[in-house]
């Protein structure tokens, strides 16, 4: 689908989606930076039990429930991004099918106890 082929309603949806995605990415980056800053502080603190950490960000983009391909039992994922979010990789046709976006930011606190 070419951008010149979309309807006014679809264009409005995409404009709104673009604004939402911009804010979403901005918030994810801000949150990740805050978490990384706090974790680095904890790792460098010799009185803290934590001596390392792992941070992951997973973003899943799902179909709308009224999409013909949507299935209650099925995998309705349009796209999934792990750590590197790039919504430009989603085709225009699929952008119009987005119903939900789910973000998981996971932090694994790590402690290594070396015995020898």
- The residues that bridge with 106 in the sheet, in sequence order, are 56
The strand pair at 98-110 and 77-82 is best described as: unpaired
Domain boundaries, the chain: 3-110
Which pLDDT tens digit goes with each residue over 61-113? 999 999 999 999 989 999 999 999 999 999 999 999 999 999 999 999 999 98
Give the per-residue pLDDT at 1. Answer: 67
Residues 6+ positions from 108 with CB-CB distance below 8 Å: 53, 54, 55, 56
pLDDT for the residue 5:
85
Q: What is the model's pLDDT at position 105?
A: 96
Question: For residues 12 and 5, which has the higher predicted lDDT (pLDDT)?
Answer: 12
Give the pLDDT mean for 26-38. 96
Structure tokens at 64: 């709308």
Which residue intervals of 1-116 are DSSP H helices? 8-44, 92-95
Contact between 32 and 105 under an 8 Å Cβ cutoff? The reply is: yes
pLDDT for the residue numbered 48: 94
**How many angstroms separate the Cα of 46 from the Cα of each of 17, 51, 112, 115?**
45, 8, 13, 18
The residue assigned the tokens 């991004």 is 81
pLDDT of residue 31: 96
pTM tops 0.95, yes or no? no
* pLDDT, average across residues 2-31: 92
């Amino acid at each position: 689908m070419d951008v010149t082929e979309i309807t006014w309603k679809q264009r409005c949806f995409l404009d709104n989606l673009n604004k939402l995605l911009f804010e979403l990415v901005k918030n994810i980056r801000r949150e990740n930076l805050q978490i990384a800053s706090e974790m680095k502080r904890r790792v460098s603190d010799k009185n803290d039990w934590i001596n390392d950490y792992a941070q992951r960000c997973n973003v899943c983009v799902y179909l709308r429930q009224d999409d013909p391909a949507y299935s209650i039992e099925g995998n309705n994922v349009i796209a999934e991004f792990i750590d590197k979010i790039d919504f430009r990789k989603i085709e225009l046709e699929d952008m119009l099918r987005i119903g939900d976006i789910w973000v998981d930011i996971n932090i694994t606190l790590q402690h290594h106890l070396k015995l020898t």
